[in-house]
A and B are shown apart, each in its own frame.
Chain A
Amino acid sequence: MLKGIEFRASKLVIALALMAAGGAALFSLSRGQFRVAGSDLTSLGLLLGGLVLYVGVLVIVGMFRNETYLSIALLLPSMLAVAIFVYGFIGWSVRVSLSQWTGLIPDFTWVGLKQYTDLIQGDQRFAIDVRNTAVFTVGFIAGCLVIGLALAILLDQRLKGEAIFRGIFLFPMSISFIASGVVWAWLMNPATGDRITGINLIFQKLHLDFLISQWHSTPQPWGMAFTVIPAVWQLSGFTMALYLGGMRSISEDLREAARVDGASEFQIYRHIIMPLLQPVTLSAVIILGHMSLKIFDLIVALGRKDLRLDVPGIYMWTTTFDGTKYAQGAAIGVLMLISVAVLVVPYLIYSMRTEAEL
């Protein structure tokens, strides 16, 4: 017998049976429907079939009593899934974006960079999208950083009720962009005169009429700037938590030493704490920046596909699935990916390097 193999006929039979059952389920379900009592169980059956097949494979690998094999067998499904669903699909998208596929039937005729040059040079809607994304990104990052830092400094004073305030500033993060967009669309209702409502109504009641605003219906590009408000509402608390975490990790001795040297509290923040928080700011800018380059559902719920508030994510969605311009949609997706990668890849490399040094 081979060394290192723990062979047991019963185990082998079980493994083969599992693999056969799982394989048969996958094979038959991928071709036809499976209905029980009127409900379609095809997808569920497919998933379970795959799982059963995999358990069978694991049992066989387990018999070899080799930990490297077992590790590979355990990691492989995840790694394969990421390889296909992230990198494989990106490659496929790139290929689609270099084709002229329009309509429901795939057409991979090579047209080179035509989709990209059309978007960048002649497409007015895409030009608006780029401008809107720029306005949103700048406003969103600036708003989150300023408010987040202000809140963190306020909470850093170790006042009573700190936990309650922290909870209040953070809770919007747990709400979906869709729900947030729906609510804020009502708060930022641009109606005037008899139909005035939402925050504008509050301004009117407080006799602050000069603050009454058309919100995101303001002529562009400034209307886009108002879409930042719900986004900042949701993520300034997160920024605050990042800053507060950074402040709390600065040792009290350092502040004490500065006080002994006669520094005021303001000077301590300005000259000691802020410089030490620069890495936190960098993380926050990267995280918030990549979110705003991808912003999609918030604008869908807030702007209801209003073209003046269009962003690349929405353009990609509508041109692909409503307009069946697959090649153009893929090109927009790839451009979004490139913009995010430029921001995130250096940060990932940096994070991995610093971790490796630890």
Chain B
Amino acid sequence: MSRRSALHALFYVLLIAFAVLYLLPVYMMLLIGLKPITEIDLKTMWDLPTRGIRFDSFIAGFRQLAPNLRNSLVMVIPEALLSSLLGSINGYLLAKWRFRGSNLVFSLVLFGMFIPYQSILIPMVKFMQAINLYGDLPGLVLVHIIYGIPITTLIFRNYYAGIGTEILEAGRIDGASLMGLYRYIIFPLSAPSFAVVIIWQFTQAWNEFLFAVILTNQSHWPVTVALNNLAGSQLVQWNVVMAATLLAALPTLLVYVFLGRYFLRGLMAGALKG
């Protein structure tokens, strides 16, 4: 065996070892969730089911979380659509319309995506209470959209900055107005960025906990809050908790598996890498 192929074998061993470690938590959730209740035991948690596969735990977990999965869905879909639309218009205007100080304004907006939300939490709660948007999902949607403005604007602005000005000037000569250019030239070219931003905002809002736990009352809890509560409960069996955790993670996992490309681009934009 040549030195090079020995090295390759070593690389594969290392990669597979890491892959096993990374998949371990998901394997555990599946394994425990798919076992019959009678086989659930701390001592044998890593053993494969011997008496067939049962979906009892997943059914029980789904019963626990169903209203919250619904809440999350109802919150996340309008949130992702509206924030992408808003981000697109902001990004277009900030990319193509450079006024004096526009870079400063943009930097100030960007800072908003790094702040720890504990530093705005008290005024935000009091404000949402004062304007009657406290306790249910529309308020949470609004908050997610507003704190999403920096990242959505950033992703669209970087994307639009890459679209040549020639095409816009050609549109100008044809008599298109500011919004005409957006509607007939920019918007039709924006599909990839819309995919990135919708997926990003979907994932963020689905996974978010702090705003959700502070701004919603129990009947409007999104899935993260309910899951945290479920995991802390002494009354719920741990196989149900494991199955419920997988169910709570499933939507974003599926989005990642099927649309990972776009997800990664959102991730990179968060590192200001365009």
> Are A and B co-members of a single complex?
yes
Instruction: Among A86, A205, A300, A321, find the residue whose CB has the most chain B CB atoms closer than 10 A.
Output: A86
B273 lies within 8 A of chain A by Cβ: yes
Please determine whether A198 and B209 come into contact, CB atoms closer than 8 angstroms. Answer: no
- B175-211 at interface with A (beta carbon < 8 Å): 177-179, 203, 206-210
Number of A-B contacts (CB under 8 A): 274
Bound together, the chains give a CA A332 to CA B117 distance in angstroms of 11
The B-contacting residues of A in range 174-219, CB under 8 angstroms, are: 174-180, 182-187, 191, 194-198, 201-202, 205
Chain B residues in contact with chain A, CB under 8 A?
A: 8, 11-12, 14-15, 18-19, 22-25, 28-29, 42-43, 45-46, 86, 89-90, 93-94, 97, 103, 105-112, 114-124, 126-127, 131-133, 135-139, 141-143, 146-147, 149-150, 153, 177-179, 203, 206-210, 214, 224, 227-228, 231-232, 238, 241-242, 245, 248-249, 252-253, 255-257, 260, 263-264, 267-268, 270-273
Find A43's partner among B139, B177, B264 (CB 8 Å cutoff): B139
**A127 in contact (CB, < 8 A):** no
A90, B119: Cβ atoms closer than 8 Å: yes
Cβ A300 vs Cβ B118 within 8 A: no
Q: Is A273 an interface residue (CB 8 A)?
A: no
**Interface: A149 (CB within 8 A):** no
Most buried by B among A167, A171, A184, A185: A171
Interface members, chain A 119-170 (any B CB < 8 Å): 147, 150-151, 154-155, 157, 159, 161, 165, 167-170
Which residues of A sit under 8 angstroms from B24, Cβ to Cβ? Answer: 187
B271 touches A242 (CB 8 A): yes
A70 and B241 CA atoms in complex are apart in Å by 52
Decide if A287 touches B270 in the complex (CB within 8 Å). Answer: yes
* Complex CA–CA separation, A175 to B246 (angstroms): 9
CB distance from B263 to the nearest CB of A (A): 7
Of the listed stretches A12-20, A76-84, A251-259, name the one at the interface; the rest are far from the partner chain. A76-84
Whether B118 pairs with A312 at a CB distance below 8 angstroms is yes
Instruction: Pick the residue among B29, B123, B150 that contacts A88 (CB under 8 A).
Output: B123
CA–CA, A282 and B109, complex, Å: 22
Identify B25's interface contact among A168, A187, A348, A349, CB under 8 A.
A187
| B residues less than 8 Å from A272 (CB atoms) | none
Of residues A184, A195, A348, which shows the largest number of chain B Cβ atoms within 10 Å of its Cβ? A348
> Top 7 nearest A-B pairs by Cβ distance?
A176-B207, A43-B138, A174-B256, A89-B120, A337-B119, A92-B123, A333-B119
Q: List 20 A-B contacts (CB under 8 A).
A: A43-B138, A43-B139, A44-B138, A78-B86, A89-B119, A90-B115, A154-B15, A165-B19, A168-B19, A173-B267, A176-B248, A178-B224, A179-B224, A182-B241, A196-B42, A283-B271, A326-B122, A333-B122, A336-B119, A352-B103
Question: Given known contacts A159-B15, A287-B271, A301-B228, is B118 in contact with A317 (CB within 8 Å)?
Answer: yes
The answer to whether B107 and A352 have CB atoms under 8 Å apart is: yes
Is B118 within 8 A of A175, CB to CB?
Answer: no
Q: How far is the CA of A330 from the CA of B42 in the complex (A)?
A: 43
In the bound complex, residues from chain A placing their C-beta under 8 Å from that of B260 are 167, 170-171
Interchain nearest-CB distance for B130 vs A (Å): 8
Partner of B112, one of A29, A74, A86, A182: A86
The reply to whether B105 and A79 form a contact with Cβ atoms under 8 Å apart is yes
User: Which residues of chain B are within 8 angstroms of A347 by Cβ–Cβ distance?
Assistant: 272
Taking A75-B93, A179-B245, A330-B122 as given, write out 16 further A-B residue pairs in contact, using a Cβ cutoff of 8 Å, ordered by the A residue number. Answer: A46-B132, A82-B109, A82-B149, A87-B108, A96-B123, A150-B14, A151-B18, A154-B15, A171-B253, A173-B256, A178-B207, A180-B25, A187-B25, A205-B46, A340-B116, A344-B111
Select from chain A the residue with minimum beta-carbon distance to B210.
A296
Which of B45, B90, B273 makes the CB contact (< 8 A) with A283? B273
B193 to chain A, nearest CB (A): 17
Of listed A175, A177, A294, A351, residue having the most chain B CB within 10 A: A175
For A271, list chain B residues within 8 Å (CB): none
Q: Which of B123, B132, B206 contacts A42 (CB 8 A)?
A: B132
B204's nearest neighbour on chain A, judged by CB, is A176
Distance, CA A165 to CA B179, complexed state (A): 44
Query: Closest approach, in angstroms, between the C-beta of B126 and any C-beta of chain A?
Result: 8
Cα–Cα distance between A182 and B224 once the two chains are bound (Å): 11
Beyond A182-B227, A186-B238, whether A177 also contacts B123 by CB under 8 A is no
Q: Is A172 an interface residue when CB atoms closer than 8 A count as contact?
A: yes
The answer on a CB contact under 8 Å between B249 and A176 is yes
With A157-B8, A352-B103 in contact, is A82–B150 under 8 Å at CB? yes
For the complex formed, measure the closest distance between the CB of A350 and the CB atoms of chain B, giving whole angstroms.
Answer: 10
Knowing A86-B115, A89-B127, A186-B28, the reply to whether A316 touches B267 (Cβ < 8 A) is no
Asked if A100 CB lies within 8 Å of chain B CBs, one says no
Q: What residues of chain B lie closer than 8 Å to A312, measured between beta carbons?
A: 118
A321 touches B45 (CB 8 A): no
Contact A82 to B273, CB < 8 A, known contacts A96-B122, A321-B214 = no
Are the CB atoms of A179 and B248 closer together than 8 Å?
Answer: yes
- Residues A82 and B15 in contact in the complex (CB < 8 Å), given A320-B121, A348-B107: no
Once the chains are docked, how many angstroms separate the CA of A43 from the CA of B248? 26
Q: Which of B11, B124, B131, B142 contacts A159 (CB 8 A)?
A: B11
CA distance in complex: A155, B16 (Å)? 12
Q: B231 — which chain A residues lie within 8 A by C-beta?
A: 182, 185, 301, 304
Residue in B116, B133, B153 with the greatest tally of chain A CB atoms within 10 Å: B116
Chain B residues with Cβ below 8 Å from A82 are 108-109, 112, 146, 149-150
Q: Would you call A22 an interface residue if the criterion is a C-beta within 8 Å of the partner chain's C-beta atoms?
A: no
A74 to B96 Cα, complex, angstroms: 14
B36 to A: closest C-beta gap in Å:
18
Q: Report how far A171 CA is from B238 CA in the complex, Å.
A: 24
Indicate with 1 or 0, residue by residue over A317-354, a CB within 8 angstroms of chain B CB atoms: 10011000010011011101100110011011101100
